[in-house]
Amino acid sequence: MRVEITGKNIDVTAAIHDRITSRFEKLEKWQVTLINPHAVISEEPGSKFKVEAGVSVPGAKLIASAEHEDMYAAINEVGHKLEKQLNKQAHKGEARRASHVDVPAEEPDVV
């Protein structure tokens, strides 16, 4: 998978690239096509790292961002947010079904 990674005020090393790519690869377990995955990592004033990531899937665009003192924790948090959005998107059809459809009607007692 080819992930576009941009660094602002920070050099993107091989370790950073591998971590971000592995987080996007975990999204493939949902068996959807990931279109144009990209991530922007920046170092904010005050020794905080901000990671913003986005990916398009058929029918939706997923965007997440996280800020943390530890860069790898921010990357993991963004990955979890994207997974949560993808899970919600994958089960959207199930959530919209009426709950009363599967309930059988009770028949009155005949005396």
Helix (H, G, I), strand (E, B) or coil at 32: coil
89-99 burial, b at 16+ Cβ within 10 Å, e below that, comes to beeeeeeeeee
Give the relative orientation of helices 71-90 and 14-26 as an angle to the nearest 10 degrees: 20
Please give the Cα distance from 91 to 30 (Å, whole number).
11
Domain extents in the chain: 4-88
Q: Is the pLDDT of residue 41 over 80?
A: yes
Give pTM, 2 decimals: 0.80
Q: What percent of the chain has pLDDT over 90?
A: 66
Fold category of 4-88 in CATH: Double Stranded RNA Binding Domain (3.30.160)
Q: Kindly report the number of other CB atoms within 10 A of residue 16's CB atom.
A: 19
For position 14, what pLDDT does the model report? 96
Grade residue 100 by pLDDT with cuts at 50, 70 and 90: low
Calculate what percentage of the chain has a pLDDT beyond 70: 87
CA-CA distance, 82 to 62, in Å (whole number)?
7
What is the mean predicted confidence (pLDDT) over 69-81? 96
